[in-house]
Chain A
Amino acid sequence: MDSIKLEIYRSLYSSVAEEMGVSLRRTAFSPNIKERRDYSCAVFDRRGRLIAQGDHMPVHLGSMPMSVQAAITHCKLGPGDIVVLNDPYAGGTHLPDVTMVAPVFAAARGKRAESSRNHDAAAHPLFYVANRAHHADIGGATPGSMGTATEIYQEGIRIPPVRIVRGGELERDILNLLLYNVRGREEREGDFAAQMGTLRVGAERLLEIVVRYGFKEADEYAGHLVEYAGRLMRRALALIPDGVYEAEDFLDNDGETDDPVRIAVKIEIRGERVVVDFAGSAPQVRGPINAVAAITVSAVYYVFRCLIPGDVPASAGILDPIDVRTPEGTIVNALPPAPVAGGNVETSQRIVDVLLKALAQAVPQLIPAASQGTMNNLTIGGWDFRTGKEFAYYETVCGGMGARPGADGISAVHTHMTNSLNTPVEALEYAYPLRVRRYSVRRNSGGRGRYRGGDGVIREIELLTDARVSLLADRRLMAPYGLHGGEAGKLGSAELLIADQKHRRGHVAKRKKLPGKFSLSAHAGDRIVIETPGGGGCGIE
């Protein structure tokens, strides 16, 4: 291995992934992709091992490789093929996250693809490229596909790995099948086109690398990059004192019953290796907060990557020294047909909280108190009288970051497993029959302490039309913990301000407290007020 080439390939492959991301963001239609950047793009070697991923969504990190494996296992891939999937039980995360995977063949260029495929059936892909994007709607009972549910069937259309493009030709039948089962068909089609276009960009760049350096070397260094990330991770693990560190934390409930949902972890560090065992976590639940194993792996991946100083290529090697054990049929490794919409966005955050709580015993100087621990997934869907079309608005709302040993937590920011942007008020009101009434920092919601937790926010939205409103949120009952004597952050809350429909239009007739997880019908003039949790404090004030 040559230190110089290693660095050059690191930069080459990661810029392919980054470029795919820019292309996807700029051409997508779903606000979730284009404004909120809820997507990931990645490059895999010929064995399907992750060699680069853009700094997009941490929650996708550990799960993208499983998508590629699922595509390889389920479909015989030829030049010019693109596989689409979203099945959480076959390489996906939750249904709105649609993943596309394409093999990159040496000859996979333009129209020759089909013929070369027939001539050279034995040819193997040189690389794979993949992207995943959170679509604004994927069908199911609730507009936005992020509502309450008790089975995955209520959450939207479930796509096993299937070829949506064969030999460069779009499978119109399959595309139509998908489009007829989702809200906002035109927008979905545009997003699918953007995802496919992005894969082509990635494939083209990889082939340029092959032309310039030769496949033998490019492939060899793809392998070195995997080992390189593994070395960096082992170094980081070696710096953590050996020992067994345990912690538990709870999700408020599953939205169906009132029972808190336990997540437990035992982290055992021995030299350069670690076992992360989730034994003792609650069985899978009826409500939509089950996480599939891919998500749990992503959360582990995220936490340990944060412990490596400097930047590390997001490659398969990071996980090499980490043994993640997730008992089947539990909240951290659910089995079908459990609903999973919130596993990706809520349970993943709590898994991070638990992992950090355990590690705070091992490396207290590095670990922050609990951040808001939820993404406050708000979905509003209905009929837009202005366009005569249905609409589905989905957004996650930021909150407080936990205080760090040595620094206050940041206020009004997304933490851990998400980093999606907000939708500008001026974009939102233009696109949807909604009006934002207030968007401000929720002062003094961060936990007190020597270092203060960051504050959450208040977001108040008025409906201009009758609509279905859903919230998937947590930390409404179990506050974000403080560390080393710091206080917990304030709980989040939601409220419906019911408009006076008869007498004084525009005035509030009634206020109704809402739980963390609900779906309800509301009327034009009603307002939904979300207050997000603050971060925990750190140290005694």
Chain B
Amino acid sequence: MKKNSQPSARNHRTRQRLRIGVDTGGTFTDFIVISKEQQFTFKVPSTPRAPAQAILTGLARAFDELRADRDASPEILLEIVHGTTVATNALLERKGARTALITTAGFEDVIEIGRQARPDLYNLSVTRPAPLIARELRFGAKERVGADGEVIEQLRQSEVKALVKTLRQAEVESIAISLLFSFANPEHERRLAEMLAALDVPISISHQILPEYREYERTSTVTINAYLAPRVSRYLQELTAGLAQSLPKQQASQLRIMQSSGGSISAETAAREPVRTILSGPAGGVVAATHVGALAGCADLITFDMGGTSTDVALCRGGARTTNEAQITGLPVAVPVLDIHTVGAGGGSIAYVDAGGALRVGPESAGADPGPACYGFGTRPTVTDANLVLGRFAGGGLLNGEMTLDEFRAAAVLDQLAAEMSRASGTVVTREEAAQGVIRVANANMEQALRLVSVERGHDPRRFALVSFGGAGGLHAAALAASLRIPRVLIPNYPGAFSALGVLLADVSKDYSRTVMQVVESGSKLPRTIEQEFHVLERQATADLQAEGFTTAQSRLLRSLAMRYRGQSFELEISAAGDPLAQFHQAHRERYGHADPQRAVEIVSVRLRGVGLSEKPVLPRAAQLKRHKAKAQREALVWLDGKRKRVSVYDRAELQPGATIAAPAIIVEYGSTTLVPSGWKAAVDGWQNLLLDSVRSLA
């Protein structure tokens, strides 16, 4: 357990809050507890079969801890924010509810046909994920709405009644409704939902979940929602009941759930709209990174979360971006999702020489089982083995020495790889050369991901900081930053509970949108109807935020427009503050290198994000920063730039704010190791962040 006393907290509100962030992972459930007096983090083992169990165990532990610190007064309002994988896992394992789908008659197969493409071009044994709902449970309603919202064929009452009867007989546990052009005219969907309410199962309605065009993507999204709703709702009820039982002394507790968009939402809403949570796994880290980065003076940053099998990167310019084009296991999820790019390179990625003689790393990973060779069981070289062979763990093992690493085993698998590389290239490749090659190739893969979110989208990496928080990232971050000419790397505090901190920091947010398809000729102004559309969404958002407990003063309404040139198919999301038309041309030029202000612009959708500003826990900051040279713990021999070098090793837990470290150096901590290569220097800031700065000119 890690503790920070916080003597100088601001006394800002009359009501005292106790906040707990909980992030459920595959192996551990992470907790961060923040009260007025103190904050601490810990882990408990996850309980995948009954995920609520681990949370209740952890909460009990948190309260024991607090009582010991005479803090658990019954007056406190308990606020729990939770990042959950219940929805994600149910989808990945295909263990959702028996769900029916109602579409416009003649379009029952839209989710089966998809976009008619195959996921892999040159693979004769390619497969496509089966639709979530089998043909027998997809029903057509005779009705039709046209592109302008006009009713072409009325939905007859007799038709609805027949459907209700059929669905009752089908004994479904959940229903999805997605009719053509429901975003333009939701009347038919509404009527169906009203009548189907008699069946007393959750109903997911497309114009409510996602009133945007493209029937396959919308139907897929609403289908996923319906498929997950009963299970997620059960889980959240269980958890809420468990909370009520185990915390009888608390006057009130509030449970919020992390969404994929980087905002949280009440448990009730999450139970209704679980599709908004399925890609929330990596969101906590990104939110925490933007918060910690802003405090440290890096508002523009690229997050770099390197784990065992993959690496997530996201570009945040004054905040994280969202996208509406996400997919999970090949199924589109068109609700806002943090724009995180994932690449199949991580510490466990396996290196091999292919039939053509190229050294490949990943995407196959040794995972947790068998794991890298140096963990004792794996038989193939991984990135972690390469790092070990090069001495980059500074001889200390992992997790503060709780886990020893088998250097001989790592050396043996890299010797094998070196032999293969020698055969392929016709020259002698040593073990260390092979290991450095593995790291260079892994870095090249991760660099492509970083380039994709920055350079390829018109952003100059030199204006960004790289925030690295994955367990495996510290050894690679500086090298990657150098290759992209990123001048600063920030390795935040709270390495063990960074995601949990993120879910706790997340504001409450609700996304609203509607496809409107309005053309704006060049030289014209935004049509007035756009303003009206925003008003409608804003009324809804204000009411919803109030229901979540936010006053107008605590709320923000962020307007944006999805725009494109008339005739294009992909939109850019532009803030509706200021002059959105000018901003659109500008953004098009930035992103694609050309723009044409003479062309008519089309406003595809109006979008609104309602934000309830959560009260942010104050992170402890050193009262003053005294610059001093950190004291090295010991020295280690490490391969750097092709040579074996003597490198100072520091223990991060010992580093005080203001400490500076010269390269080359290795900084070890529980769960992570950071390499400060030559050309860089390191310092600890007032929040205990580790800052790596390039000392070379990057101009």
Contact = CB atoms under 8 A, between A and B. Distances in A.
Interface in A411-441: 411-415, 419-422, 424-427, 429-430, 435, 437-441
Interface string B576-587: 000000000000
Given A197-B594, A426-B215, A413 B128 contact: yes
A383 B687 CA distance: 66
Interface stretch (B190-198, B349-357, B492-500): B349-357
Interface string B165-194: 000000000000000110000000000000
A277 interface: no
B359 A31 contact: no
Contact of B567 (A29, A368, A407, A410): A29
Contacts of A193: 594, 596
Nearest to B517: A430
B117 A8 contact: no
9 contacts: A3-B358, A4-B440, A29-B568, A55-B122, A197-B593, A310-B355, A410-B128, A424-B216, A435-B146
Interface stretch (A127-135, A227-235, A256-264): A227-235
Contacts of A435: 146, 152
Interface in B427-462: 429, 437, 440-441, 444-445, 448, 451-452, 456
A3 B359 contact: yes
**Would you list the 5 A-B pairs with minimal beta carbon distance, nearest first?**
A34-B569, A438-B106, A4-B437, A398-B116, A29-B567
B110 interface: yes
Please tell me the size bucket of the interface on A. Answer: 35 or more
Given A411-B112, A429-B146, A306 B444 contact: no
Interface in B58-114: 106-110, 112-114
B124 A410 contact: no
B116 A414 contact: yes
B214 interface: yes
B324 to A, nearest CB: 14
Interface string B642-655: 00000000000000
Interface stretch (A19-27, A113-121, A286-294, A515-523): A19-27
- Most chain B CB within 10 A, of A3, A25, A429, is at A3
B117 A421 contact: yes
Given A27-B592, A235-B355, A426-B181, A306 B437 contact: no
Given A4-B441, A232-B356, A424 B214 contact: yes
Contacts of B353: 3
Contacts of A2: 425
A1 B112 contact: no
A218 to B, nearest CB: 14
Interface in B473-531: 517
B534 interface: no
B570 A228 contact: no
Interface string A303-340: 00110101110000000000000000000000000000
Contact of B109 (A19, A200, A367, A439): A439
A366 interface: yes
Interface of B: 106-110, 112-118, 121-128, 135, 146-147, 152, 180-181, 213-217, 353-361, 421, 424-426, 429, 437, 440-441, 444-445, 448, 451-452, 456, 517, 565, 567-570, 588, 591-594, 596, 599
Interface string A7-39: 110111001000100110111110100110100
A201 interface: yes
B106 A440 contact: yes
A302 interface: yes
Contact of B117 (A7, A26, A229, A413): A413
B448 A3 contact: no
Contact of B113 (A29, A35, A197, A422): A422
Nearest to B353: A3
Contacts of A306: 122-124
A134 to B, nearest CB: 14
Given A15-B451, A28-B568, A302-B122, A200 B112 contact: no
Nearest to A33: B569
B479 to A, nearest CB: 13
B451 A305 contact: no
Contacts of B124: 306, 366-368, 404
Given A8-B444, A23-B593, 10 more contacts: A7-B444, A8-B441, A11-B444, A27-B570, A186-B567, A231-B356, A419-B121, A421-B116, A437-B106, A457-B113
